[in-house]
Amino acid sequence: MGAGPTILHADLDAFYASVEQLLTPQLRGRPIAVGGSPSGGVVLAASYEAKAFGVSGGMPGWRAARLCPELVFVGGHFDRYQPIADRVMDVLADVTPLIERISIDEAFCDISGAQHLFGDAAAVGALIRRRVRDEIGLPISVGAARTKHLAKIASQVAKPDGLVVVPLGGERAFLDPLPVDLVWGVGPVTSERLASRGIRTIGDLAATPSTVVERLLGHAVGHKLHAMAADDDPRRVTGGRRAHSVGAQSALGRHSPTPELVRATLAHLADRVSRRMREGGRAGRTVTVRVRFTELRSVTRSLTLAQPVATTLTLTEIAERLAWSAIHDHEGAEITLLAVSVSQLSEQRVLQLELDLEPPDPWRPGSPTGAARWAVDASMDAIRTRFGRDAVGYAPALLARDRAVPEEFRELAEHEV
DNA sequence: TCTGGGGTCCTAGGACCC
DNA sequence: TCTGGGGTCCTAGGACCC
């Protein structure tokens, strides 16, 4: 006891696709894509059989179909994923209370207090994998190591459906030969930049002076990556933190930015965002709008207010101003996406009750007062609580119905506000 | 045939204050 | 008449992750 690594990273394999194969036995062993179609949309998740052909999440459907002609596209049971993932987390909770869930399908565990009950990291990892397989029916990979970063790399190496334990003292031997892309925070751009200096493995990165890496990648990124490669990762397993921002976006296809389209889309997005803020008892001071034009050119405009906002109407008006500022700077261009997000969040429980407090109403002096806006939102929230989210509301974006991902998928991706 | 939706963190430049 | 240096906040853009 006390002689082995105590941080585990547990990560469900190709989670959405595995659930589909669990629910529909005919799909087992076959290359499948959740979401998208051979003619459009994007693949949200791919089974390991599909990944073998190069299919991956985020890939346009037509490209996936070309890479893998026998690929089966399935619509996805988005309402099933969250409860199933929660059951997996319950298995982890049976082992240790020290769990840090970092997304729907992965979590860190600190098992330092659990080893006298369940054995060392290898035993605990095997136990978790067996229980998730037997009781839920899903493959899960587990990495165990001295630090979170190392445990996460170990679980990636273990995939699919494996267990990798990095013994204490064996960290360098494990890390050095691995490609630098496995370091958390190294994506295509950083990887390419490092390769231009001949840095291809984690060992290469660790052996490069920190100052050189920082000059190459910027101070913060360089410092962090070098520390990780050098196996210097002091992070503890912690409980959840609250979101720092709340946002929503909608892909539109290609359209001229007509006032009607912009207004309807932003009202819908502002409604989603502000409703979630109110549910979480929060409001935010900084409003950011992103407009994506054709060829994926994205432009953002933001505004920081003196007072936090959380009403749908106020947020809609601010978002409209910001969006038009961006659109006017790109005269004649077509737009393909609009996004609204609010940051600089603060606790706002009192304002929800005290409707006579005046939230900011910077424009349109003749429009409803702050109190009236809060009252409108409060009634809408109450109706939704009683009769469901769709009972009342702003029309979803025009024209985008068939491109849009299901509502259940959006909810899955939402973080706790 | 042409790319979803939810987030986090960092950088650089400018405004402003002391 | 010209000028230091540090700190904070805001805005826009970008890399990255799931």
pLDDT digits 0-9 by tens, A353-364: 434 444 444 444
Q: For A176-229, which CATH class? A: mainly alpha
Q: Among all protein residues, pick the one whose CA is nearest to the C1' atom of B6.
A: A413
Does nucleic acid strand B have an atom less than 7 angstroms from the CB of A376? no
Does nucleic acid strand B have an atom less than 7 angstroms from the CB of A298? no
pTM over 0.85: yes
CA–C1' A58–C3 (A): 54
pLDDT digits 0-9 by tens, A318-357: 999 999 999 999 999 999 999 999 999 999 865 544 344 4
CB A22 within 8 A of CB A137: yes
What's the order of all strands across the beta sheet hosting A245-255?
A245-255, A335-347, A282-293, A298-309
Q: Among all protein residues, pick the one whose CA is nearest to the C1' atom of B1.
A: A62
CA–C1' A218–B12 (A): 11
> Does residue A160 have a cis bond before it (omega within 30 degrees)?
yes
Nucleotide nearest to A417 (CA to C1'): B7
Cite the residue boundaries of each domain of chain A with CATH code 3.30.70.270.
Answer: 1-167
User: Could you tell me which residues come within 8 angstroms of residue A48 by beta carbon, excluding any fewer than 6 positions away?
Assistant: A13, A14, A17, A160
**CA–CA separation, A266 vs A70, rounded Å?**
39
CB-side neighbour CA atoms (13 Å) of A85: 22
The CA–CA distances, whole Å, from A257 to A132, A296, A321, A338 equal 49, 16, 13, 10
Q: Which residues of A are catalytic?
A: 106
Cite the residue boundaries of each domain of chain A with CATH code 1.10.150.20.
Answer: 176-229
Classified by CATH at the fold level, domain A245-413 comes out as Dna Ligase; domain 1 (3.30.1490)
Q: What is the pLDDT along chain A (417 residues), one digit of tens a residue?
A: 558 999 999 999 999 999 999 999 999 999 999 999 998 889 999 999 999 999 999 899 999 999 999 999 999 999 999 999 999 999 999 999 999 999 999 999 999 999 999 999 999 999 999 999 999 999 999 999 999 999 999 999 999 999 999 999 999 999 999 999 999 999 999 999 999 999 999 999 999 999 999 999 988 899 999 999 999 888 888 877 889 999 999 999 899 999 999 999 999 999 999 999 999 999 999 999 999 999 889 999 999 999 999 999 999 999 999 999 999 999 999 999 999 999 999 998 655 443 444 444 444 445 566 777 887 888 888 887 777 777 776 655 454 555 567 788 889 999 889
What CATH architecture does domain A1-167 belong to? Answer: 2-Layer Sandwich (3.30)
Phi-psi bin for A231: left (phi > 0), alpha (psi -120 to 50), beta? left
